[in-house]
Structure formats: structure tokens, C-alpha cells
Amino acid sequence: MSNIWLAASDGDLKAVKSFIEKGVSVDAQDENGYSALHAAASYAHEDLITYLLEKGANVNIQDPDGDTPLFVCETVEIAKMLIDGGADATHVNEDEMTAAENAEEEEWFEVAHYLRELTGVPHPDKDIDELEEDMSHLLKDEEEDEDSDDNDEQEATENSFKHRINDIMKATEADGVDRDEELKAVVTEMLVAAGPEGAAKLSKDLQDQVNESK
């Protein structure tokens, strides 16, 4: 192999080891800003990814577009390996896109779904019924919050969001103006603020609120 990036693309672990042992930086980048980890993730070479991470590869290294290796993952398995290695799923590239949004654009929908669930951010185009379905599984194996002060603060936050949503729906009822995008934005903000523990309950409460307004 002529360089570490081609070796990584081909999944040639022996060649990659040889380059690193000869002094090539594990985070060396080619003329396009691609690192060996970018290449290994792009071609789903699991053994090579494991080796590179063990050698201290920067899992959040960026190319000139701000894309980290997580942005080139085409399978959930590879995305999970990088997340377990410390990849930041909330990172935004130069196009102001997260890895989840990039995966959607590339039509790697399973990866996009996994990353959105991981960060607790639902797809902005989904309606309230779908939000409950997508967020509810995040409650699995989570312990109930016993802290009453935290509960009081959370309830106050929820009520504030619900008032905002109610005001939007009343305004729409009054003038007939379509405010779906504004409503989705507030719902998304609310669910993110609630975290995994409260997302499913809030989704149900919001749906009840919508039904009552009809």
C-alpha cells in the first residue's frame, strides 16, 4: 500500500499497523482531510476501527467540511462503535448539519434513526403521534426520579411549554394561519428539554392537548 489511507480503505490492518509503527500519525489526514478512521468507518472495517481507537485515534477528527468519522457511517453497527469510542453525535459540520441529518440526506435511514434516538431529538417533520412512538422506548431501564425539587422544576418547565403550544393553537383557531412549523419547533424543544425520562409522557400529554382543542 502506498499510504495509510488506502490501506485503511481496503481494511488492510497489517499495512495500517506497519505505517503507524514506522511513525505515521494515527490521525494523519490526506489532501481531502480524511483520516484513517474516516476511511475505516466509511468502509465498515470493524477490526481496523478497534485498532485505531486503541492507538488513540481522535474519534472526533474533522475534515475541511467539519465531518467527523461519524458522518461517513453507513451502518448502525459502525456508528455504535464510534459512539462507544467517544464520538460526539451532536457535532455540527460546516453545513450546519449533524451526523443524523447527514445520514438522512445520504438515505442511511437506520443510522439517522439511531443517532436521533441517541440524542433525544425527534425528526422535525414527525407529528405528535409519531413523537410518542419514537421517544417512548428511551424510558426502558430508566429509574424514576425521586428528587421532588427536580420534579417541581420539571413540571414548571412543562407547563411553560404547554402554554406556548396552547397559545399557538388558539392563534391558529382564531385566524386560520398554518403554524405547523412553529408548533413542531416548540414540541421538539420541549421533548429535548424533558430528556428521555419525560419524553414519552409529554408526547401523550401533548396529544391529549391537541385532541381537546379539536
Q: Where are the domains of the chain?
A: 4-119, 130-213
What's the pLDDT at 211?
56
pLDDT band at 186 (very low <50, low <70, confident <90, very high): confident
CATH architecture group of domain 4-119: Alpha Horseshoe (1.25)
Query: Tell me, what's the pLDDT at 175?
Result: 77
End-to-end CA distance of the chain: give it in Å, rounded.
66
**Angle 193-113-161 (CA atoms, 0-180°, nearest 5)?**
20
SS3 content of the chain, % helix, strand, coil (to 5): 65, 0, 35
Residues 158/190, Cβ–Cβ less than 8 Å: yes
Q: Average of pLDDT values for 15-20?
A: 97
Task: Say whether pTM exceeds 0.75.
Answer: no
- Residue 142 pLDDT greater than 50, yes or no: no
Report the 10 Å Cβ neighbour count for 36: 33
Does residue 89 have a pLDDT over 80? yes
Tally of CB atoms within 10 A around 174: 8
Q: How far is residue 23's CA from residue 57's CA, in Å, rounded to a whole number?
A: 14
Per-residue pLDDT for 46 more than 80? yes
Mean pLDDT of the chain: 81
Cβ neighbourhood burial of 27 (10 Å; 0-12, 13-18, 19+) = middle
How confident is the model over 151-179, as a mean pLDDT? 74
